[in-house]
Amino acid sequence: MVDMKNVNVHYSSGVDALVDVDLHINDGEFVFIVGESGAGKSTLMKLMLRELTPSSGRVFVNGRNLSALKGNKVAMFRRTIGVVFQEFRLIQDYTVYENVAFALRVADSSNKTIRQRVPYVLNLVDMGPKAKHKIKELSGGEQQRVAIARALANDPGLLIVDEPTGNLDPKRSYELVGLLKEINRCGTTVVMITHEHNLVRYFGGRIINLDKGTITFDETIGGSDYYEE
Amino acid sequence: MRNNNVSYLVKKGVSSVWKNLVMSFASFSILLVSLLQVSIAVLFILNANIIMGNIEDTNQIAVFVEDIENESQAAHDKKVEHIRDVLNANENLTDVKYISKEEAAQKWSETMSGEASELINMVPGGNPMPETFTARVTDIRNIRFTVSAIKSIEGVEQVNAPYDFANALVNIRNAFSLIIIAMLVVLIIVSIVVISNTIRASVFARRNEITIMKYVGATNGFIKLPFFVEGCFVGMLAGAVSWGLTCFIYSSVFTLFTDNLTLWQMFGFFNLIPLASIRWLLLLANCTAGALLGAVGTMISMNKYLKV
């Protein structure tokens, strides 16, 4: 699903964002990527989204060599993954329904598919009853659920989630990760980037720690029974 | 792309005009001013060309027939016929007219008054006026070539042509064309630059939307289409309004000229293009140019934000 070999990312500012990174994520895994600010988490995410290409090394996602993708092939690739951002990145003028339908339209889905798929994914994240609401009428937690619904609209094999709890209170954060775990149980690979160690300890699973652009820890740990606020 | 998604994007583009009313109005205003300037300049060029043509049509060349002593009347008539045929066959000549010695004398006498008109009859050897052909040159730029062709006709003694007049007109027309073309090019370039900057501000305000589109897998075509439709729509609206204003201004100017016809006739202004004959063509041209300018401006502005 995700395969990186000897990946280096060197920015023109002189910063080595990633150094000799080897990473393999299998289908169906749930992976936390943690690390301090500037550790290279965002760069890793940008590589997986093909927003960036490595200075050296190879990145394969969903069977595609991302360095070789050009033009509309990048767009086609992005339709095979779902992405959720900390700041939600929803279209504020659209309703909840329209935001999710939008991702399907982008993928050139028919009206029939849109009518069937949008209520399904909205119900999956418990946002069905608010389908007609405008985004600005929703709380942060609800907006993040809509963002997840949009990411799931095209039934992606891989869901990349960047600091999804950054704008949420602790209770909503735990609920949200619980939801992502549910999605993962249904077969979607989830890569969640976070710096919230409490969440990671609570849920457990495969943890990858980045430090100064290098993977310093890659282990699977068990979860705990309590969460810290 | 599926039809349902194309119609969705077109609707989005049109509705964006109202959603982003301030920026749309800014683009509309700039397009309107640019189109108004261009359409007035084009009308000016068209009319100026007609006026120049009218002035050029006043040119006249005179072809003098060789007068040979002791030439038989039959041979002379044959020579005159030959010259007439060759002149009529020349594509750059029109209104070829023959003036006999008698007619020439008559005309000369008419220009004289009193006893002076009888002077021509006192010339020893009879009527001294030459037999001539007069003609107008269709394309005054080729006057020298035409005159030299006429001179080579057997039986032609001399050709008088208004070279200075022709040179002056050709120079004026060339300079005029250059100035107008330069003006048009500058106007169009300035319009595109100003419009693309205005639309850039509009696109910048919606960069978040574009970024979202890119992340969910939108192709550049999918992202561009609503902006393209918006640019075209605003451009067409500006074109339609510009057309209305142009018609109003043009009909006012036309009325001014036709009300003072005798004065303008002196300067060859009598053939301005009537508005009725170009009204719909002007509408089509304005709307098409507006849509094109809007679309080109949008495309130039958008490329920067598509690199996500």
**pLDDT tens profile A25-49:** 999 999 999 998 889 999 999 999 9
What's the one-letter identity of residue B227?
Answer: F
**Which member of B19, B209, B213 has the closest CB to residue A106?**
B213
H/E run at residue B167? helix B163-205
Chain A CB contacts of B5 under 8 Å are 105, 108
Q: State the virtual CA torsion across A201, A203, A204, A206 in degrees, nearest 10.
A: -120
Q: Which domains does chain B have, with CATH numbers?
A: 3-56+168-306 (no CATH), 61-161 (3.30.70.3040)
Res B283: pLDDT: 95
Chain A CB contacts of B222 under 8 Å are 75, 106
In the sheet with B132-137, reading across from the earlier edge strand, the strands are: B93-99, B132-137, B61-65, B156-160
ipTM over 0.90: no
How long a stretch of residues is chain A?
229
Chain A CB contacts of B19 under 8 Å are 93
Residues of B with CB under 8 A from a CB of A: 1-2, 4-5, 8, 19, 208-209, 211-222, 308
| CB-count exposure of residue A139 (10 Å: 0-12, 13-18, 19+) | exposed
**Which member of A71, A75, A90 has the closest CB to residue B217?**
A75
CB contact under 8 A, B219 and A150: no
- Does the global pTM surpass 0.80? no
CB contact under 8 A, B217 and A110: no
- The per-residue b/e assignment along A56-69, b for 16 or more CB within 10 angstroms, e otherwise, is ebebbbbebebeeb
Chain B CB contacts of A150 under 8 Å are 216
Contact present, A76 and A50 (Cβ < 8 Å): no
CB contact under 8 A, B211 and A79: no
Nearest to A82 by CA among A192, A216, A196: A192
CB contact under 8 A, A106 and B209: no
Chain B CB contacts of A156 under 8 Å are none
Distance from CA of B1 to the nearest CA of A (A): 6
Distance from CA of B253 to the nearest CA of A (A): 48
Task: Mention every residue, 6+ apart, whose C-beta is less than 8 A from residue B306.
Answer: B210, B214, B220, B223, B224
Contact present, A183 and A53 (Cβ < 8 Å): no
Chain A CB contacts of B20 under 8 Å are none
The one-digit pLDDT tens for each residue of chain A (229 residues) are: 899 999 999 999 989 999 999 999 999 999 999 998 889 999 999 999 999 999 999 999 999 999 899 888 999 999 999 999 888 889 888 899 999 999 998 888 888 999 999 999 999 888 999 999 999 999 988 999 999 999 999 989 999 999 888 877 888 888 889 989 989 998 999 999 998 888 898 898 899 999 999 999 999 988 775 555 5
Contact present, A121 and A97 (Cβ < 8 Å): no
The answer for B194, left when phi > 0, alpha when psi is -120 to 50, beta otherwise, is: alpha
pLDDT of B113 > 80? The answer is no
CA atoms within 13 A on the CB side of A181: 15
**pLDDT more than 90, % of chain B:** 17
